[in-house]
Structure 1
Amino acid sequence: MSKKVAVIGLDCADPVLMFEEFWDELYNIQKIAKSYGPLRSTIPPITVPAWMSMVTSKDPGELGIYGFRNRKDYSYDSVTFANSRMIKDETIWDTLSKKGYKSIVLSVPLTYPPKKLNGNLVTSFLTPGTDVDFTYPKELKKEIKNWVGEYMFDVENFRTNDKDRLLKDIYKMTEKRFEVAKHLVTEKEWDFFMMVEIGVDRMHHAFWAHHDSTHFKHDPDSPYKSAIRDYYKYIDKKIGELVSLFPDDTVIIITSDHGIQKMDGGIAINDWLIEKGYLVLKERPEKPTRIGKLISDGMIDWSKTKAWGMGGYYGRLFINVEGREPNGIVKKEEYESFRDQLIKELENITDEQGNNIGTRVFKPEEVYKEVRNIAPDLIIYFGNLKWRSMGTVGNESIWLHENDTGPDDANHAVDGIVISSEGDVPGEIYDIRNFVLNYFL
């Protein structure tokens, strides 16, 4: 095959921003876009595991990964963090390696620790630091240091009020990432190239209220009002520079794992469960405390608790099942009816004014082809993802309008983007793998 295929991933790039609000200013992307459209993400639409679903065509249930944090076993405090060792299915570059094709993989989530491939790999934002091995082959790490000095996997603390520092760090990180990409595509052999830039996601979460005039925190006089627009234009420039280094007939795909929308607030899932009598504490914490700390401190009365939840962009609810959890009390024969009751009650949640917020609830076995490892008993989109799930317990109300993990103006949306220089674009994240492999196999 003479053609090369290059996938440029922009974590969280949104179809409304990309194709409507900013399109006229994205000159380089426009030149590439022979076809484009929204790309339906995974359930849930989050970075981990969505990128791995894209490159394996496996849904989160088949991967057995439901977020960055996952239950390791049925004990109450066993949480494990997702990494590349959990990926048992073939990625695009695994398949191509077997066929003798060379790949360059840069910053694709869930590639740490680095695994062997036919080509070169640099791990992603979940890498603990530059002091560990983060490349394949190992020697590539030294080359990166020569190219850009200290490489940046991510920015520190993107949920901050120090917007000046954050803005500077995001641009610095993106500059280094594209610089490494340029060196890789010009100095290494490759048939397939894939990179992911996390900066788009960080910009959205940090600056959405400054951008979106309908956001309850919007300040029309904010000095950061054009920060997201300016960054998209910067990304467009960087893509133009990178693409100019590809052979002329390279197939170029620009894509994202999910989109973005304003966050109206958060639902304190565990405080809601306490109100319903489903979660019982031995004593109420003096201040809002993360559920994980209450569990590890032995503050939950499991003999009376039927369910508990985890915070995040979406809600994860776990049921305390008899014979499954150590002190389970929900009988197995009552499990299904209790889940149905919870779904009904969750979908009836309103805002402070009594308006239904439009929550959607999923049973894992109904939305996944297979359910591996330990999935949540219920997957919850509070307000259809306009509200996030708050993991803290002991709030004054179940309704919060400040994120409990630091300032954050936005939540994920179910559609990302896909743009192609050739061929009609697919509509679902699971179709990208075959869309790419069809050019090779």
Structure 2
Amino acid sequence: MKTLIIGMDGASIETFKRGWTPYIESLIEKGNRLDLKLDLLSRGWVEIFTGEHAIDTGALYDLPLLNGSLDWTIKFNIEKMPGWGAEIKPIWQVLNERGYKVGIMNVPTTFPAPKVNGFFVSGGGGGAKVVQEVTEELCYPRDIVKYLQSIDYIVDERMADLFEKNLLTVDEVFSRFQKKNQKRTEAFIQLSKEKKVDFGFVVYKTSSVMVEFFTIPELERELKGEKVLDNNLLKMSKNYYQEFDEQIKTLVESFKDAEVIFVSDHSEVKSSFEVDVNHFLQNNGFQAKQQKKQKKIINQAVRYMKDLVKSNIPSTLKKRILSHKKRIPEKESTGLLSEQFFVFDPNISVAFCVPRGDWGRGIYVNDEGRFNGIVAQKDIIDLSHQISDRINNDETAKKHGITSHVKPRFDTSVSKYYPDVVLDVPDGYIVRNNAKGFVTEFEGMKPKNTNFDTIETWSKEKWKPLCVRGYHPIAVSTSQWTEEILPMSRDLTVIYRHLLKQYKTKNR
């Protein structure tokens, strides 16, 4: 094997500075590190295996359906990318075309498993339901299914899946994560050697990100000297990482001549503040609240907007808002956009934010074409700049280091899915509809006794977002990065460009 990529979802450099992973830490210290920054809208793993950003692929963590409604989805199928397999080629296709065999395992958003020269085991996502057990659609060639089933290989699972299995405590959940990692390492080594691959890419997904999700807040509480701690979680986390360190050592030493690239799709940071973008839009005249009672909604909302638009919105938009007669039909369900996100009246709001997860850091203009809204196509760019300027000049935003910019391009075939205004909030700030203010302090879990179990308590406290995605992923190679890949961008697409430089076409 010439190159081995080891992916760890949600990990950061700090993850391996706790003294629990001496082998991984030694490789990182000896390796060559890239300082990258993400926008947290574009899917990181897709950037790695396509070399393209979501502005060109449409690979957002969530996106509007653009069917004239406010229907939203978190599903994304890579085969729906414009030019998939032609203008946009995944790294396994390029390497196969250049004469190399590949081994791909658990890379997210890759369902169904494509035909490759080598082997392929899909990860979760890609338009399919997340499953634990191996199926034929997840594997290529099909003959590896029986082997994976025989060793109890776990494809992927979320916390909800674990709770359904009645795994409710730190001990039960972390033990499951360890088993998942062990089976993944075992299977990847076996299949890579059996198929004699030249390039390997394996990702440790849910186990990695969820251990960080629960561990980081507890470590910070310990650092502050708080008396009420989940000491068992810290012990189990240390055991988990010590075991993971051994797994990585076994993996790397199985392919001693390979360049090893450690990479994550984002970092993970303790939640510290909540940012309510819709609250900001409402206070600045760009949005009206959704009324609970539909009776007299137009009269109430128009009165509300009249007070706001006097000084905030240009006269051309004032006329459109205040004279707007077209109604968006009321529905019992707004598709995949549930009530907790539907906090604004789409009939008279010109912009909105959809904070579905810890990646929701953008604002959409409520235009006619995409959302059956009230803003004309010709006004989208101007309104986007007005909103962005308002954020950048806001005193609260300045105090917290929150900035914004208009999306870089409006001219790609998928840019219409991308938010019109992109927020740049500090690490630890999560965008949510909290209805308390533009920026408020995040209230985490507050256990009252020392006998609490973090995961059990978390499951009962409405799954609070204890951590949020961070901007700085891991990108470390045991070899030198090719210098010409760096000026083009400083996001995860550099991994793809580096690989293209490493794998020249074989002479046939």
Quick check: 1:62–1:370 contact (8 Å CA) kept in 2? yes
Secondary structure of the residue aligned to 1:225 is helix
Instruction: Write the letter of the residue equivalent to 1:432.
Output: I
Correspondence for 2:211: 203
- Tell whether 2:135 aligns with 1:136: no
- Tell whether 2:352 aligns with 1:308: yes
From the two aligned structures, give the one with the greater helix fraction. 2
Quick check: 2:44–2:265 contact (8 Å CA) kept in 1? yes
The 3 A distance-change label for structure 1 pair 331 and 369 is closer
- Tell whether 2:383 aligns with 1:375: no
- Tell whether 2:84 aligns with 1:42: no
The 3 A distance-change label for structure 1 pair 402 and 52 is same
Correspondence for 1:338: 383
State the Cα RMSD in Å.
Answer: 3.5
The 2-side partners of 1:319 and 1:215 are apart by: 43
Q: How many residues align?
A: 422
Correspondence for 2:154: 151
Correspondence for 1:9: 7
Secondary structure of the residue aligned to 2:374 is coil
Quick check: 1:33–1:420 contact (8 Å CA) kept in 2? no
- Indicate which of 400, 408, 418 corresponds to 1:357: 400
Q: In the TM superposition, what whole-angstrom CA distance separates every residue of 1:261-307 from its partner, at most 9, and x where no partner exists?
A: 2211322333443444433345239xxx999224999x853331111
The 3 A distance-change label for structure 1 pair 277 and 157 is farther
The 3 A distance-change label for structure 1 pair 170 and 139 is same
Correspondence for 2:326: none
- Indicate which of 227, 244, 247 corresponds to 1:235: 244
Q: In the TM superposition, what whole-angstrom CA distance separates every residue of 1:377-398 from its partner, at most 9, and x where no partner exists?
A: 122233x2421111x47x4555
The 2-side partners of 1:350 and 1:77 are apart by: 31
- Tell whether 2:493 aligns with 1:430: yes
Q: How does 1:227-266 map to 2 (within 5 A)?
A: 228-246=237-255, 248-266=256-274
Instruction: Write the letter of the residue equivalent to 1:7.
Output: I
- Indicate which of 459, 472, 493 corresponds to 1:415: 472
Instruction: Write the letter of the residue equivalent to 2:346.
Output: W
> How many Å apart are 1:159 and its aligned residue?
11
The 2-side partners of 1:290 and 1:405 are apart by: 22
Q: In the TM superposition, what whole-angstrom CA distance separates every residue of 1:226-262 from its partner, at most 9, and x where no partner exists?
A: 555543333221111112222x322222222222222
Quick check: 2:37–2:473 contact (8 Å CA) kept in 1? yes
The 3 A distance-change label for structure 1 pair 135 and 267 is same
- Tell whether 2:112 aligns with 1:55: no
Quick check: 2:266–2:470 contact (8 Å CA) kept in 1? yes
Q: How does 1:38-117 map to 2 (within 5 A)?
A: 38-44=34-40, 49-67=43-61, 69-80=62-73, 81-87=75-81, 88=84, 89-117=88-116
Secondary structure of the residue aligned to 1:293 is coil
The 1-side partners of 2:280 and 2:194 are apart by: 56
Structure 1 alignment gaps of length 5 or more:
none
Find the structure with the greater CA-based Rg: 2
Structure 2 alignment gaps of length 5 or more:
294-333, 445-460
Instruction: Give the TM-score normalised by structure 1.
Output: 0.83
The 3 A distance-change label for structure 1 pair 388 and 344 is same
Quick check: 1:41–1:257 contact (8 Å CA) kept in 2? no
The 3 A distance-change label for structure 1 pair 158 and 235 is farther
Secondary structure of the residue aligned to 2:249 is helix
> How many Å apart are 1:146 and its aligned residue?
1.0
> How many Å apart are 1:151 and its aligned residue?
1.9
The 2-side partners of 1:319 and 1:363 are apart by: 11
> How many Å apart are 1:66 and its aligned residue?
1.9
Secondary structure of the residue aligned to 1:379 is strand
Quick check: 2:174–2:240 contact (8 Å CA) kept in 1? no
> How many Å apart are 1:332 and its aligned residue?
4.2
The 2-side partners of 1:439 and 1:317 are apart by: 39
The 1-side partners of 2:482 and 2:20 are apart by: 20
